[in-house]
Amino acid sequence: MKKLQDKVAIVVGGGGAIGRAIALKLSAEGARVVVIDMMQESADRVAHEITKLGGESSAYALDITCYDKVKETFDGIAGHFGRIDILVNSAGGSAREKMALYQELPIEVLDWMLDVNLNGPLYCIRAAVNHLIKQNYGKIVNISSIVALGGMSKCVDYAAAKGGIIAATKSLAIELGSYNINVNCVSPGKVQRSTDDIDQAAFAKQYTYLNRICTQDDIADMVLYLTLPESDYITGQNMVVDGGRSLGLKGS
């Protein structure tokens, strides 16, 4: 039997590159995967890919910055499946072209970044946690970033939000351990979403101390491990998957 057979796993941000990889790996271990994304089309695409491979999946569009909508969706998922076993918070991201020095950062960008990267994941946990407590079991895996550990210029908002995720992970692990709920975090380094038109050796040399780039599967493998029985005695930890980059934030 597969290690996650019939477990119900929610992957928030499952339509993105890392979220998709996580959803596929959870499904390959037998989980029934609920793919949640801001865009219905993105969620549908990953759910369809899972079902084509013989897995069971459903897709929901959801704005995680609205708690009422998050709670309604999660309650509906729990009602449909009868349970929630695994929650992976993979949604979020930097401001990209709107990144700026903090004294120049528009307040609306700051608010949005905190909503998407901190409040949204906390809303998802809040909406799921009582279902996990009720069944006296659960695995929560949050995605942070090595930017939270070492800092980066023009990323004050992102670093603050991702640092908050690490801190919340530790406190939640303390609160929820007596209910057999494990709460952990994964902090990726520089993940190359696509290998098209890049010099992989040069990328690896710039951003890691290893000889290859970091892929979404590297992150998904760690997330998967934190949902398996083998990780039952691990909680409150931030697992860094960065090829050593945070030893000096190489390349920044």
Which residues are tagged catalytic? 158
Closest CA to 86 of 15, 144, 12: 12
The beta strand positions in the chain, using DSSP E, are 8-12, 32-37, 57-61, 86-89, 138-143, 181-188, 238-241
Structure-token pair, residue 111: 């608010």
Amino acid sitting at position 54: G
The beta strand positions in 54-137, using DSSP E, are 57-61, 86-89
**CA distance readout (Å), 11 to 3, 19, 91, 138, 146:** 17, 7, 9, 14, 21
The string of DSSP codes covering 237-249 is -EEEESTTGGGTT
3-state DSSP assignment of residue 213? coil
Amino acid sitting at position 249: L
Helix then strand then coil, % of the chain, to nearest 5? 50, 15, 35
Whether the Cβ atoms of residue 109 and residue 95 lie closer than 8 Å to each other: yes
